[in-house]
């Protein structure tokens, strides 16, 4: 398959009628899959009503079929077609955070969306992305679009079009290149099918931000439970992993440096994931600053690109510092723990 690349300037007017967007929308209407930029990461979009399109998404990614997909829409009125009810707290969250990096789980109406998109569950995960190119495409194609991250399953999510091509060139119909994404980690997934909203996946909207508008919000106890049937994307299987084994290090800088030395003495090429504040401290083969520890949003933005950069550097092992689990730090540590397969070295 020849993968087309459509370059689009997200700042131009009338994006909905841009020839590149129109072409990509036509592909979606024909049940092909197209990668599109969002404010979080690039998504791999397909018609959520079509078994054929959804199967193409899973095949391109190599993704297990029991992992549900997020449905992307351009207007919240669209959900009336496939959602049974909109609870009051969900309505408040939609009003405050849509468009934006928040996915809300609702009870699903049957017979509208492909059951393959929702992994056969009686619920559906929905969001409106906050990216002008994504919104233009969604408006033009007039379809609910199922879209997981546009990467090979288990690998770091893509934050620019080249990342998508590195993983999926020849496997998908096209990539709508709208430049680099902003947030860097995927959307927060919150289940609103019960009285108290439950975060199933931390992401671009923090627990603190949610509680500021709807009161108590719980964290799902099974965030890392491999045995349960996942209600949301990212709850099952290893994700975001670079090629080399990744270890999180819970200890001092000197302890991490000692680990580096031990592995170098074994003849290994060692990578270190740190931040701008301490990048000069470590003596290793490859040291990459992933944003600023004092500004965790910058760490989130750079995280996936940093993990991919270690692949380019061909390291044998990667050690990563750990981050506080407040605010967006919760999402950062969730992704790092999954990328490391929960391998943590404690001083």
- pLDDT per residue as tens digits for the range 105-127: 999 999 999 999 999 999 999 99
pLDDT of residue 61: 94
Same CATH topology for 4-219 and 246-346: the answer is no
CB atoms within 10 A of CB 239: 23
pLDDT of residue 240: 86
H-state helical runs in the chain: 19-29, 51-61, 88-97, 132-141, 161-168, 207-214, 253-265, 296-313, 329-339
- The CATH code that applies to domain 246-346 is 3.40.50.11030
Q: Which helix (H) or strand (E) holds 270?
A: strand 270-274
Q: Which helix (H) or strand (E) holds 272?
A: strand 270-274
pLDDT of residue 239: 75
320's tokens: 């990563």
- Rounded distance, CA 298 to CA 290, Å? 8
31's tokens: 């049940």
Query: Is 46 exposed, middle or buried (CB count within 10 Å of its CB: 0-12, 13-18, 19+)?
Result: buried
- Rounded distance, CA 116 to CA 51, Å? 6
pLDDT less than 70: residues of the chain: 223-238
Q: Where are the domains of the chain?
A: 4-219, 246-346
pLDDT of residue 35: 98
Strands 43-47, 188-191: pairing kind:
unpaired
| Sign of the C-alpha dihedral computed for residues 247, 340, 168 and 33 taken in this order | negative
pLDDT of residue 233: 53
H-state helical runs in 192-325: 207-214, 253-265, 296-313
- The CATH code that applies to domain 4-219 is 3.90.870.10
């Amino acid at each position: 398959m020849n993968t087309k690349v459509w370059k689009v300037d997200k700042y131009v007017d009338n994006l909905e009628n841009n020839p590149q967007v129109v072409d990509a929308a036509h592909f979606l209407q024909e049940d092909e899959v197209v990668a599109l930029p969002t404010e979080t990461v690039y998504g791999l979009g397909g018609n959520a009503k079509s078994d054929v399109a959804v199967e193409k998404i899973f095949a391109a990614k190599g993704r297990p079929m029991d992992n549900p997909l997020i449905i992307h829409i351009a207007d919240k009125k669209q959900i009336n077609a496939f959602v049974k009810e909109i609870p009051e707290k969900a309505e408040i969250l939609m009003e405050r955070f849509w468009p934006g990096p928040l996915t809300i789980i609702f009870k699903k109406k049957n017979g509208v969306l492909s059951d393959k998109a929702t992994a056969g569950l009686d619920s559906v995960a929905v969001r409106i992305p906050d990216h002008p190119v994504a919104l233009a495409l969604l408006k033009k194609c007039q379809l609910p679009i199922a879209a997981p991250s546009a990467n090979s399953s288990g690998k770091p999510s893509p934050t620019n079009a080249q990342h998508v091509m590195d993983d999926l060139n020849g496997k998908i119909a096209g990539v709508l290149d709208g430049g680099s994404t902003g947030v860097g980690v995927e959307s927060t997934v919150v289940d609103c099918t019960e009285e108290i909203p439950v975060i199933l996946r931390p992401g671009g909207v923090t627990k603190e931000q949610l509680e500021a508008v709807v009161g108590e919000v719980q964290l799902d106890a099974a965030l890392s439970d491999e045995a349960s049937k996942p209600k949301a994307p990212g709850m099952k299987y290893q994700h975001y992993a670079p090629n080399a084994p990744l270890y999180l290090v819970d200890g001092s800088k000197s302890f991490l440096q000692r680990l580096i030395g031990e592995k170098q003495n074994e003849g290994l090429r060692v990578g270190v994931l740190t931040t701008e504040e301490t990048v000069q401290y470590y003596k290793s083969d490859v040291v990459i600053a992933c944003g600023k520890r004092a500004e965790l949003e910058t760490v989130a933005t750079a995280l996936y690109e940093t993990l991919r950069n270690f692949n380019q550097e061909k390291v044998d092992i990667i050690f990563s510092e750990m981050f506080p689990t407040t605010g967006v730090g919760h999402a950062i540590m969730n992704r790092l723990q999954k990328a490391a397969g929960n391998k943590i070295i404690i001083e």
